[in-house]
Amino acid sequence: MTTTKDTVRITSLIPSFTVDDIHLSLAFYEGLGFEVEERWEEKGQLSGVMLRAGDTRIGLTQDDWKKGRDRKKGAGMRVFIATSDVDEVARRAKTAGITLNTEPHDTEWEGGRAFEVTDPSGFLLTISTEMA
């Protein structure tokens, strides 16, 4: 690992996705094993959540459609999520009715496994074992 003395130590990175349907997206991430840590409502309607699984967090916010309903989400990005048990997360996802893009498979790095899945708004996720 290469570092310089000017490198800042980052202790966490929390992606936040603007989603097409907050309820559908919430069910998807709960199907992967995330739980709601915080909920935000506006005028009695769910407008966002902060989800947590272990030390990892993902924010979801309902799109307000001010930039148009045809706005493509997730294009050009992939989020990697590391877990100790890829096969268990895949099993949990399938039980929740989530369709996997790829089944869990061995990867190039020793002992590694991964699978891919796309969330309801088009964000691509790779669920994998941690790389050494």
87 is in which domain, residue-wise? 16-65+73-128
49, 5 Cβ separation under 8 angstroms: no
Q: pTM score, two decimals?
A: 0.88
Where does the pLDDT of residue 2 fall: very low under 50, low under 70, confident under 90, or very high at 90 and above?
low
Residue 10 lies in a domain: no
**pLDDT of 122 above 80:** yes
- How many structural domains is the chain composed of? 1
Residue 7 lies in a domain: no
Residue 3 lies in a domain: no
Please give the span between the terminal C-alpha atoms of the chain, in angstroms, as a whole number.
11
* Residue 52 to residue 56: CA distance in whole angstroms: 6
Locate 70 and state its tokens: 């045809």
Residue-wise pLDDT for 98-109, tens only, equals 999 999 999 887
Residue-wise pLDDT for 11-38, tens only, equals 888 999 999 999 999 999 999 999 999 9
Residue 95 lies in a domain: yes
Locate 101 and state its tokens: 């893009």
100, 117 Cβ separation under 8 angstroms: yes
Which CATH number is 32's domain given? 3.10.180.10
Residue 4 lies in a domain: no
Residue-wise pLDDT for 44-101, tens only, equals 999 999 999 999 999 999 999 998 888 888 888 899 999 999 999 999 999 999 999 9
Residue 8 lies in a domain: no
Query: Could you give the percent of the chain with pLDDT greater than 70?
Result: 95
DSSP-H helix ranges across the chain: 22-32, 86-95
**Could you tell me whether strands 45-53 and 35-42 are parallel, antiparallel, or unpaired per DSSP bridges?**
antiparallel
Nearest to 62 by CA among 28, 27, 30, 20: 20
Residue 106 lies in a domain: yes
* Residue 47 to residue 62: CA distance in whole angstroms: 5
| Number of C-beta neighbours around residue 63 at 10 A | 17
